[in-house]
């Protein structure tokens, strides 16, 4: 993660938690947030949630998230005649922003704009193809909302090029840009550049708001020390690789063993919503690769789990002795989470202990123990196809 970045709790009720991303040394030009809700945690933790069920959870979660964020950013006071929802097709459709803004803020007159976008790799870089469909209807002094799943950031950057061209051609001014993502720090890098451009082109520009769902994830690369990672695509939970997760999302990783072992925090969101069969095939192919890897290399469940979601803040293993330490855990986590009460640290640690007992840890350390987990997951995924016949 970015050096010294940490989360500060700004708001929490029974529906959502809001954290600002802050830094002891570097001030970001963006208003950066991580939001967490039960619905968005579920839709990300369980890749078998697909199609309308997926988008329903997204819509409900985001409605609660924006209502909570409103305590900090006062977005509901913006005249909806000045609001535009910019849909980056097709991934941006997952976020249901048009409906969310109506439900969260009562917006009635907000308009919508669209741009198609498909990234393809050329050499070591991603370029955009299939961006010919563009439909803009942006008001003057606009607050533009947009959302997408961001890995490389290529689609986001390309979409903002065309938004800026439209605004300049039609002599329109931009007042605020609000972007929501399931993604990593590449989204921030893109928006930092565009925030400067927006301010240069729009003297009355106020702010850029960057919102991450559940955390800022690490992006897989060719050098990632984990097997079966798709470079510049997979969003990973590993804090050692740069992930910065909300406490609520971290707690949810301990609901089931399988959650933190998934290949990506979201997989392909477009497929999940609009090609559910192909999405499940993608997830199945990941687990088949994991199964082959586990068999060939006799991989333990413990080693693979810690490669994807390290537990070294929760315990230490020395000379075969497992040392659990809540004090160690809290001291380490307080570097990344500020404003979280003691009882919530304790609740997270208790949940970890519930999932990872000493006996289970010892069992998971056996060579080849990952294979049994893979086989069960593959069996389950195949059962989904049979159930749909």
Q: Specify the CATH number for the domain of residue 97.
A: 3.40.50
Asked if 145 and 261 sit in the same domain, the reply is no
Asked if 267 and 322 sit in the same domain, the reply is yes
Phi, psi of 221 (to 5 degrees): -145, 180
Q: What is the pLDDT of residue 130?
A: 61
Asked if 286 and 363 sit in the same domain, the reply is yes
Asked if 168 and 67 sit in the same domain, the reply is yes
Buried b (16+ CB within 10 A) or exposed e, 32-46: bbbbbbbbbbbbbbb
Asked if 195 and 51 sit in the same domain, the reply is yes
Asked if 212 and 279 sit in the same domain, the reply is no
Report if residue 247 sits inside a domain. Answer: no
Report if residue 148 sits inside a domain. Answer: yes
170, 200, 218 — which closes off a domain? 218
- Each residue's pLDDT tens digit, 49-97: 999 999 999 999 999 999 999 999 999 999 999 999 999 988 888 999 9
Report if residue 232 sits inside a domain. Answer: no
166, 196, 218 — which closes off a domain? 218
Measure the CA angle with vertex 202, ends 201 and 204; round to 5°. Answer: 160
Asked if 325 and 205 sit in the same domain, the reply is no
Asked if 266 and 359 sit in the same domain, the reply is yes
Q: What is the pLDDT of residue 128?
A: 57
Q: What is the pLDDT of residue 385?
A: 87
From the list 189, 119, 174, 107, the residue with the least C-alpha distance to 144 is: 174
Whether omega before 90 lies within 30 degrees of 0, making that bond cis, reads yes
Q: What is the pLDDT of residue 320?
A: 84
Q: In the chain, which residues have pLDDT < 70?
A: 1-3, 118-131, 388-389
Give the range of the structural domain holding residue 320, as residue numbers without chain letter. 257-387
Coil, strand or helix at 217: strand
pTM (2 d.p.): 0.95
Helices of type H across the chain: 38-45, 51-73, 97-105, 154-169, 186-201, 247-252, 269-274, 276-297, 301-308, 326-333, 342-355, 358-364, 370-387
Q: What is the pLDDT of residue 190?
A: 96
Asked if 20 and 120 sit in the same domain, the reply is yes
Report if residue 229 sits inside a domain. Answer: no
Q: What is the pLDDT of residue 1?
A: 45
Report if residue 237 sits inside a domain. Answer: no
Length of the chain as a residue count: 389
Asked if 207 and 271 sit in the same domain, the reply is no
Q: What is the pLDDT of residue 358?
A: 95
Q: Are 136 and 166 in contact (CB under 8 A)?
A: yes
Q: Are 237 and 44 in contact (CB under 8 A)?
A: no
Asked if 26 and 117 sit in the same domain, the reply is yes
Report if residue 112 sits inside a domain. Answer: yes
Report if residue 242 sits inside a domain. Answer: no
Asked if 197 and 308 sit in the same domain, the reply is no
CB atoms within 10 A of CB 365: 15
Report if residue 250 sits inside a domain. Answer: no
Structural domain count of the chain: 2
């Amino acid at each position: 993660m970015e050096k010294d970045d940490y989360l500060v709790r700004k708001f929490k009720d029974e529906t959502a938690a809001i954290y600002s991303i802050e830094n002891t040394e570097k001030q970001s030009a963006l208003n950066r947030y991580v939001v967490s809700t039960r619905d968005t945690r579920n839709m990300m933790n369980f890749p078998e949630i697909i199609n309308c069920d997926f988008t329903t959870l997204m819509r409900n979660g985001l409605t609660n998230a924006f209502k909570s964020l409103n305590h900090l950013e006062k977005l509901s006071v913006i005249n909806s005649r000045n609001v535009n929802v910019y849909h980056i097709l097709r991934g941006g459709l997952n976020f249901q922003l048009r409906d969310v803004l109506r439900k969260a803020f009562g917006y009635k007159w907000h308009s919508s704009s669209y741009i198609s976008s498909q990234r393809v790799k050329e050499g070591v870089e991603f370029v955009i193809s299939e961006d010919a469909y563009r439909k803009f209807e942006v008001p003057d002094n606009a607050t533009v909302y947009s959302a997408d799943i961001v890995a490389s950031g290529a689609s986001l950057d390309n979409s903002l090029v065309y938004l800026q061209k439209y605004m300049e051609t039609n002599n329109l001014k931009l007042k605020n840009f609000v972007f929501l993502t399931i993604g990593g720090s590449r989204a921030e890098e893109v928006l930092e550049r565009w925030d400067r451009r927006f301010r240069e082109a729009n003297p009355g520009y106020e702010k850029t708001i960057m919102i991450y769902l559940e955390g800022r994830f690490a992006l897989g690369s060719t050098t990632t020390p984990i097997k079966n990672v798709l470079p510049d695509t997979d969003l990973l939970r590993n804090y050692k690789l740069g992930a910065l997760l909300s406490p609520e999302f971290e707690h949810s990783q301990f609901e089931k063993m399988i959650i933190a072992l998934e290949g990506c925090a979201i997989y392909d969101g477009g497929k999940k919503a609009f090609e559910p069969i192909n999405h499940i095939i993608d997830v199945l192919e990941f687990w088949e690769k994991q199964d082959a890897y586990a068999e060939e290399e006799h991989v333990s469940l413990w080693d693979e789990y810690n490669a994807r979601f390290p537990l070294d803040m929760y315990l230490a293993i020395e000379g075969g002795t497992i040392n659990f330490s809540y004090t160690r855990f809290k001291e380490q986590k307080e570097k990344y989470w500020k404003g979280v009460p003691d009882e919530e640290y304790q609740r997270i640690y208790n949940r970890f202990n519930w999932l990872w007992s000493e006996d289970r840890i010892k069992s998971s350390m056996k060579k080849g123990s990952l294979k049994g987990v893979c086989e069960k997951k593959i069996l389950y995924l195949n059962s989904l196809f049979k159930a749909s016949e």
